[in-house]
Amino acid sequence: MDDSDDKPRSSRSTGSARLTDVARVAGVAPMTVSRALNRPELVSEGTRLRVQRAVLETGYVPNRVAGALASSRSRLVALLVPTVAHSLFAEVVQTVMGALAPQGYQVLLGLVGYTPEQEETILETVLSRRPDGIVLTGCRHSALTRQRLKSAQVPLVEIWDMTDDPLDMLVGFSHEAVGRAVAEHLLARGCRRFGLISADDSRAKRRAVGFVSALEQAGAGEYQLREVGTPSSMPWGREKSAELLDQHSLDAIVCSSDILALGVLAEAQSRGLSVPGQLAIMGFGDSSYAAASFPALSTVRIDGAAIGLRAAEHLLQRMALPAFQRAGQTLDIGFEIIDRDTT
């Protein structure tokens, strides 16, 4: 047997370095190490640098759990989004993390998908960690989720949606208004026969409802609807557009995402259809590839970075206040129709 197995392991090799080890290496008192790590403005630059070098040498990791127990703060913010496969949600994640990290908060990311059941399961786990705040995508939740959030009394920002009855704070936009604006945009360009290809999640469905309501209000236009699962894909866009074009004479196809719209564009080109002369195509999201497609894809732009930044700012303000002083607020950031070559 190797004699090395009998040798005592150092605190560095086991990852169990203590604050007193850092103090010994840095040549300062343990209290000074604590100040340098938690309140660096209270120590000299030289002391702070010595402590940093000692932390590197010992491999010390601060015990945040103990600090949280002492202060009743976890310094943890939960960010729940459907997916990070979509660039818009990835943009929100990046912005929220970038805004919270300098304030000493770590972000716990949860992917809740598009079903209430999955949201319930992940939220239960999140609340068990006692986060200081939550950023949650959407406003449509199950009764159980709403009850848990109200009972937890954790500062909450719902994002990516709009409602007259938010649980707490809200930063988003109206999906119904997006649908109406797209319909009005295409009606103004002479389109009258529409195909709608929509994901089956609640927000995409509300955009479709807004679109149809605008047609009905204008007393013009007819539509055919096809739904797909989530997350959406280019093959689904091509498959459903082929079905629509085989069965109906259409002026335009409107999609609940840019990736679906690219599938429609591919099908139209395979049939030799002139876009937008014979068929207009509209997406949603203004993904990075929308402007680079040929022809360039018309779409709806949502400022995901602005949503993430405002959500983080609202949450930081709320977490700094006593509970009895907290009051919710709602911010509608709006959207923009991007009229490119496909319309």
Confidence at residue 325, expressed as pLDDT on a 0 to 100 scale:
56
Q: Mean pLDDT across the stretch 63-83?
A: 74
Domain spanning 175-301 has what CATH number?
Answer: 3.40.50.2300
Contact assessment for residue 106 and residue 76, using Cβ atoms and an 8 Å cutoff: yes
Query: Is residue 309 helix, strand or coil?
Result: helix
| Residue 327: band (very low, low, confident or very high) from pLDDT cuts 50, 70, 90 | low
Q: Is the pLDDT of residue 129 over 50?
A: yes
Residue-averaged pLDDT of the chain:
89
Are 75-173+305-334 and 175-301 equal in CATH topology? Answer: yes
The average pLDDT across 71-95 equals: 87
> Looking at residue 15, what is its pLDDT?
46
The crossing angle, in degrees rounded to 10, of helices 30-38 and 45-58 is 100
| pLDDT value at residue 242 | 98
Q: How confident is the model at residue 1 (pLDDT cuts 50, 70, 90)?
A: very low
pLDDT of residue 227: 97
| AA letter at 342 | T
DSSP 257: S
pLDDT in tens, 5-64: 444 333 333 446 788 999 999 999 999 998 888 888 889 999 999 998 998 888 787 765
pLDDT tens-digit series, residues 236-286:
999 999 999 999 999 999 999 999 999 999 999 999 999 999 999 999 999
Per residue in 138-192, pLDDT tens? 999 998 898 888 888 899 999 999 999 899 999 999 999 999 999 999 999 999 9
Confidence of residue 3 (pLDDT cuts 50, 70, 90): very low
* DSSP of 4-73: GGGSPPPHHHHT---HHHHHHHHTS-HHHHHHHHH-GGGS-HHHHHHHHHHHHHHT----HHHHHHHHT-
Tell me, what's the pLDDT at 70?
Answer: 52
Q: Residue 231 — pLDDT band, cuts 50, 70, 90? A: confident
Question: Cβ(194)–Cβ(254) under 8 Å?
Answer: yes
Region of 202 please: left (phi>0), alpha (psi -120 to 50) or beta: alpha
- What's the mean pLDDT in 198-219? 95
**pLDDT score of 340 more than 90:** yes
3-62 CATH: 1.10.260.40
Domain segments of the chain as ranges: 3-62, 75-173+305-334, 175-301
Q: Predicted confidence band at 68 (pLDDT cuts at 50, 70, 90)?
A: low
Q: Answer with the residue of higher pLDDT: 290 or 12.
A: 290
- pLDDT score recorded for residue 233: 93
- Looking at the chain, the number of H-run helices and the number of E-run strands are 13, 12
Q: Report pLDDT for 71.
A: 53
- Provide the pLDDT for residue 98: 96
Dist CA 318 CA 8 (whole Å): 49
CATH superfamily of 75-173+305-334: Response regulator (3.40.50.2300)
Q: How confident is the model at residue 65 (pLDDT cuts 50, 70, 90)?
A: low
